[in-house]
Chains A and B, each alone.
Chain A
Amino acid sequence: MKTLKIEELSKNFGSTEVLKKINLEIDEGNFLVLLGPSGCGKSTLLNIIAGLETINEGNVHIDDYNVSKVEPKDRNIAMVFQSYALYPSMNVRENMIFGLKQAKVSKEKIEEQLEKVSKFLQVDALLERKPSQLSGGQRQRVAIGRALVREPRIFLFDEPLSNLDAKLRVEMRREIKKLHQQLKTTVVYVTHDQTEAMSLGTNIAIMNHGVIQQNDTPENIYNKPSNTFVADFIGSPSMNLLKGNLKESSNKISFVTHGSNIEIPINGYDFKEKSNLDNKEVFFGIRPEHIFFKKSNEEDFEINLRADLSEYIGHEQIMTFNFENQEVLAKFPSTVKIDLSKNTKLFFDLTQISLFDAKTEERI
């Protein structure tokens, strides 16, 4: 049984297609993060799961029951919003029990739930306060509390940390992670922040233009991006994508950029299909953190590149090198001293590379 299953879901607002044939499944207790740039349809998808938006095509199943036509309140879900959406005229207590009161839950049960949750989230001292008297973090906690008292099957989070300042965001992120570890409730979480997605999710679905680009574990998303969009979106700075061709001669495959004699051997790369590789136009992808200033392993490719730019950011520095007139970024500890405008010896870790078809932009 899948806690949440979405089949062939399409949604358009007028003539704009927002979601195109989305398929998605979540197992009980998993933490799915919907990640993508703004306007990719992730929030719409979440609203559809909640029942706040109608569907044009396809179905949403919760616990194997088709809820496509079920009211939001009957879907056994709870949602936490970016603006917290606490009812301004009610105090914390009234905010938290509003849903239970609507559902005509007995008074004793309501009190019991309220006590349990407010203790758990440490908001029991704030019960008589109005939302306007709370700090950002407290508001967020109350908003989570309001979701918790309903004991839902699925938690929906819509960019819950975006309104908090940087420090508080990291704290609340940890708290949400702990919360999920303790409760083990299924979560769908929308964000545009890759750090949040990586640290929270057991699964990440990366979306762009209403299509899921890759739905995988954080490790696979980082190490084996399925296309150039994912490769570019994840990682900071993002993956270097060098344009060039593959060359195959006597069973040895190598990568060559246009009009240059630098040949990077491709050994032990896990090709999806190992045919028609000769002369294929590709992007050679390597992350800045996989370029080293000293040898990391036997497979390393050694190359001399000119350093053009250095960006110091405290614990590390981001260097820009010139690779046959294409920019290559590398991340080094800030203790390493590298002279600008001079050639520097670098080592590409070839065990960590990705190759993409230049036409389809898909991983090969």
Chain B
Amino acid sequence: MQDKIHSSYKQLEQKSKYTNMFLRWFLYFVLVVFALYFIFPLYVMVVTSLKTMEEIRQGTLLTWPSGLNFDSWLVAWGGRGYGAGDTFLKPYFWNSIKMVVPAVFFSTFIGAMAGYVLTKWRFKGDKWVFLFLLFGCFIPYQAILLPMARTLGVLGISNSVIGLVLVHTVYGIPFTTLFFRNFYVSIPSELVKAARIDGAGFFKIFFKILLPVSTPIIVVTIIWQFTQIWNDFLFGSTFSFGEAAPIQVALNNMVLSSTSVKEYNVDMASAIIAGIPTLIVYVLAGKYFIRGLTSGAVKG
């Protein structure tokens, strides 16, 4: 009797072992397929940027380059050295840096302050203020292009990097505030109470007590804002042109304005260059990103 029960257990055990093994391999298979699918465009870009035009014409998209040839990268970054009509990324890259650093800094700082006030210094109607701020996350940017252009004109900062800094800061605040508010909600208000009894004021509590524990959410905000602002094309192309344009606008101009032959290798190199800073930010701070995004949900 007992032997019979045991052997039936054994059969079931074997069966579930095979099922599990199959499922595991299937899982890996699916993951590998998706990984290949996602890496494919990057592969094509990198490979093409390393080929000469001759190779591009003769081979297919997937053909391996004959050697490491960085000529097109140099052209994309520094130009060919002849005068008019030579568009290259270097000056616009710095434009973008000059735009993105202050814009990320100010929007993050103001968002942190706003989140701090909305959670730890509650006032009458604070919920409404937050609600209206959230509205900013949902407004389609096309809708505010005209009024914003007019505002920048009145302020005398249209077609300048400063103008773009202002626009990106203003439209970053709803997101940064949302991030910081949700993070600070999970930090016990008793900390603020204790600090008030200890005699710390509004700013001291913010800088000495809350900001030092905000690293995860600061990293999240910086990644988010950096990516948004660096990759922005709409504001950049609307509110700036010529010398003041950020890199994404310059990239567009470069690719569209080539007069003679389409130089795919230079185009690909330029596109990669324009994408590298966001990649660097992700690699350096990526591990904080997930941690920070979920930190509000899990009580420490």
Closest to A89 in B: B212
Q: Within residues 187 to 237 of chain B, which ones have a CB less than 8 A from any CB in chain A?
A: 188, 190-191, 193-200, 204, 208-209, 212-213
| Contact between A99 and B191, CB atoms less than 8 A apart | no
- The residue that B191 contacts in the complex, of A47, A51, A87, A103, with Cβ under 8 A, is A87
| Contact between A98 and B197, CB atoms less than 8 A apart | no
Closest to A84 in B: B190
Write out the residue numbers on chain A whose beta carbons fall within 8 Å of the beta carbon of B200.
Answer: 98, 102
Instruction: Tally B residues with Cβ within 8 Å of A.
Output: 16
If the complex has contacts A87-B209, A88-B213, are A79 and B191 also in contact, measured as CB distance less than 8 A?
no
A184 to chain B, nearest CB (A): 21
Segment of A2-10, A70-78, A305-313 engaged in the interface with chain B: A70-78
Tell me if A82 counts as interface (CB < 8 A to partner B): yes
Whole-angstrom CA separation of A99 from B205 in the bound complex = 12
Write out the residue numbers on chain B whose beta carbons fall within 8 Å of the beta carbon of A83.
Answer: 188, 190
If the complex has contacts A52-B193, A88-B213, are A98 and B188 also in contact, measured as CB distance less than 8 A?
no
| Contact between B199 and A73, CB atoms less than 8 A apart | yes
B284 to chain A, nearest CB (A): 22
| Contact between A87 and B197, CB atoms less than 8 A apart | no
| Contact between A52 and B196, CB atoms less than 8 A apart | yes
Q: Within residues 151 to 165 of chain A, which ones have a CB less than 8 A from any CB in chain B?
A: 158
Tell me if A50 counts as interface (CB < 8 A to partner B): yes
Write out the residue numbers on chain B whose beta carbons fall within 8 Å of the beta carbon of A87.
Answer: 191, 194-195, 208-209
Tell me if A292 counts as interface (CB < 8 A to partner B): no
Whole-angstrom CA separation of A81 from B195 in the bound complex = 12
Tell me if A85 counts as interface (CB < 8 A to partner B): yes
A276 to chain B, nearest CB (A): 51
B111 to chain A, nearest CB (A): 20
Write out the residue numbers on chain B whose beta carbons fall within 8 Å of the beta carbon of A77.
Answer: 197
Q: How many A-B residue pairs have CB under 8 A?
A: 57
Whole-angstrom CA separation of A73 from B191 in the bound complex = 14
If the complex has contacts A85-B188, A85-B190, A87-B191, are A79 and B197 also in contact, measured as CB distance less than 8 A?
yes
| Contact between A72 and B190, CB atoms less than 8 A apart | no
Write out the residue numbers on chain A whose beta carbons fall within 8 Å of the beta carbon of B188.
Answer: 81, 83, 85
Whole-angstrom CA separation of A202 from B200 in the bound complex = 33
Whole-angstrom CA separation of A25 from B209 in the bound complex = 35
Interface 1/0 per residue, A312-356 and B, CB below 8 Å: 000000000000000000000000000000000000000000000
Q: Within residues 34 to 72 of chain A, which ones have a CB less than 8 A from any CB in chain B?
A: 47, 50-52, 72
Whole-angstrom CA separation of A83 from B212 in the bound complex = 19
Whole-angstrom CA separation of A43 from B195 in the bound complex = 18
- Size class of the contact patch on chain A: 20 to 34
Whole-angstrom CA separation of A79 from B209 in the bound complex = 17
Whole-angstrom CA separation of A51 from B208 in the bound complex = 22
Whole-angstrom CA separation of A223 from B188 in the bound complex = 39
Closest to B124 in A: A14
If the complex has contacts A73-B199, A102-B199, A103-B199, are A50 and B209 also in contact, measured as CB distance less than 8 A?
no
Interface 1/0 per residue, A139-150 and B, CB below 8 Å: 000000010000
Closest to B191 in A: A85
Closest to B197 in A: A72
Write out the residue numbers on chain A whose beta carbons fall within 8 Å of the beta carbon of B191.
Answer: 85, 87-88
Closest to B193 in A: A52
Interface 1/0 per residue, B160-201 and A, CB below 8 Å: 000000000000000000000000000010110111111110
Write out the residue numbers on chain B whose beta carbons fall within 8 Å of the beta carbon of A78.
Answer: 197
Whole-angstrom CA separation of A47 from B196 in the bound complex = 12
A130 to chain B, nearest CB (A): 11
If the complex has contacts A82-B190, A83-B188, A87-B191, are A99 and B197 also in contact, measured as CB distance less than 8 A?
yes
Closest to A47 in B: B193
Whole-angstrom CA separation of A99 from B197 in the bound complex = 8
Write out the residue numbers on chain B whose beta carbons fall within 8 Å of the beta carbon of A52.
Answer: 193, 196-197
| Contact between A72 and B196, CB atoms less than 8 A apart | yes
- The residue that A81 contacts in the complex, of B194, B209, B212, with Cβ under 8 A, is B194
**Central interface residue in B193, B195, B208, B213, by most chain A CB within 10 Å:** B193
| Contact between B199 and A85, CB atoms less than 8 A apart | no
| Contact between B197 and A89, CB atoms less than 8 A apart | no
| Contact between B198 and A99, CB atoms less than 8 A apart | yes
| Contact between B199 and A81, CB atoms less than 8 A apart | no
Whole-angstrom CA separation of A361 from B194 in the bound complex = 40
Closest to B188 in A: A83
If the complex has contacts A85-B191, A87-B191, are A50 and B199 also in contact, measured as CB distance less than 8 A?
no
| Contact between A85 and B193, CB atoms less than 8 A apart | yes
Write out the residue numbers on chain A whose beta carbons fall within 8 Å of the beta carbon of B194.
Answer: 79, 81, 85, 87, 146
**A-B pairs with lowest CB-CB distance, top 3:** A89-B212, A102-B199, A99-B198
Q: Which residues of B contact A (CB under 8 A)?
A: 188, 190-191, 193-200, 204, 208-209, 212-213
| Given A77-B197, A81-B194, A99-B197, 16 extra CB contacts under 8 A | A50-B193, A50-B197, A52-B197, A72-B197, A73-B198, A78-B197, A79-B197, A85-B191, A85-B193, A87-B208, A88-B191, A88-B212, A89-B209, A89-B212, A99-B199, A146-B198
Q: Which residues of A contact B (CB under 8 A)?
A: 47, 50-52, 72-73, 77-79, 81-83, 85, 87-89, 98-99, 102-103, 146, 158
Return 8 A-B CB contacts under 8 Å, by A number.
A72-B197, A79-B197, A87-B195, A88-B213, A98-B198, A102-B200, A146-B198, A158-B190
